[in-house]
Amino acid sequence: MKLSPSVSIEHTESGLEFINVVSSLCSAKIFLQGGQITEFTPRGKQPLLWVSSHEAYKEGVSMRGGIPICWPWFGTHKNEDWPAHGFTRTSLWQADEVNESDHEIIISLKLPMKLVNTTYWPHHSALKVEFVLSDKLQVRLTTTNLGNTSFSFSQALHAYFPTSDISNTHIDGLQGSQYIEFGKGPFTQNDVVNIARETDMIYTQAPSLQAINTPEGVIHVSRENSHSCVLWNPWIEKSKRLSHFADDEYQTMVCLEAANVLEDAVVLESKKSHTLVTTISWAN
């Protein structure tokens, strides 16, 4: 991969390799493990992504924060001993291309499918992720069916967003959607969402744009090729059980995830591609 002036390859103290971006547009960190962006800060503005203060960046362990890639299934698989949210979060991706212009930097990674356990995924396919960095962040996850028969999958871009006070944070733009939570529903979302308890809402028929209103400002989160999204906060008791997550960090984060889940899961025909897109930015 040919680098650009604003892009370098660096390593954490634990040895994980990441792509570091420092430009006039923004700063960012993208890890090859998981194909995961963990930091994105537009120039002159607050960070748009959250990472746990307890994150140790260990090899083979999924990272708590940024935007983990959940693929080719979301949540718990029917085979309970299979990894939650698929296998890509801990897989080692390959850096593919960097293209820098005056108005954006595009960094693409691909998953080496020959290294994927065929027990988990027997299909002939390709998976790549592109990060388009400017004053906003766009993530594009593209699945291509290279085989002769169709296959199905679910997925999510599990974005963690920062807030200084979850009790003074609300999510607008989900009104009219249907959701299920903890196996119950569907219910209709009538109002803006305030987080005051453990929250794990899986929305369908969701509008393409939401706004996370925080004390620091409004974060816009939009989706393409997706009619579903997930809103998550572990709250008090679950925070105590989560790995690499401080007991009180539920107060400073919320997840709003672009997804293809439930009836929005993808059936991909032979030789076709599907691209899940999320774009995040500060509203002002």
What whole-number distance in Å separates Cα of residue 131 and Cα of residue 279? 10
Q: What is the CATH number of the domain that holds 257?
A: 2.70.98.10
Q: Could you tell me if residue 82 is inside a domain?
A: yes
Name the one residue in this structure whose structure tokens are 């989560």: 242
279, β-bridge pairs: 138, 222
Which distant-in-sequence residues (6+ apart) come within 8 Å of 19 by Cβ?
A: 7, 8, 9, 10, 28, 29, 30, 31, 32, 95, 98, 107
- CA 21, 98, 129: angle at the middle one, nearest 5? 90
* Helix, strand or coil, per DSSP, at residue 260: strand
pLDDT tens column, 141-167? 999 999 999 999 999 999 999 999 999
pLDDT tens column, 253-280? 999 999 999 999 999 999 999 999 999 9
pLDDT tens column, 3-43? 778 999 999 999 999 999 999 999 999 999 999 999 999 99
Token pair in block for residue 120:
């988990």
209, β-bridge pairs: 222
Q: Tell me how many domains the chain contains.
A: 1
Q: Could you tell me if residue 216 is inside a domain?
A: no
Residue 284 has pLDDT above 80, yes or no: no
Q: Could you tell me if residue 225 is inside a domain?
A: no
Q: Could you tell me if residue 41 is inside a domain?
A: yes
What whole-number distance in Å separates Cα of residue 231 and Cα of residue 219? 14
What whole-number distance in Å separates Cα of residue 203 and Cα of residue 120? 26
DSSP 115: G
In this prediction, residue 111 carries a pLDDT of: 98
State what percent of residues in the chain have pLDDT above 90: 94
Question: What region does 9 belong to: left with phi over 0, alpha with psi -120 to 50, or beta?
Answer: beta
Burial of 119 (0-12, 13-18, 19+ CB in 10 A): exposed
Mean pLDDT of the chain: 96
Q: What is the CA radius of gyration of the chain?
A: 18
Residues spanned by the domain of 76: 7-163+233-282
Closest listed residue to residue 131, CA positions, set 53, 18, 240: 18
Residue with the larger pLDDT of the pair 230 and 84:
230
In this prediction, residue 92 carries a pLDDT of: 97
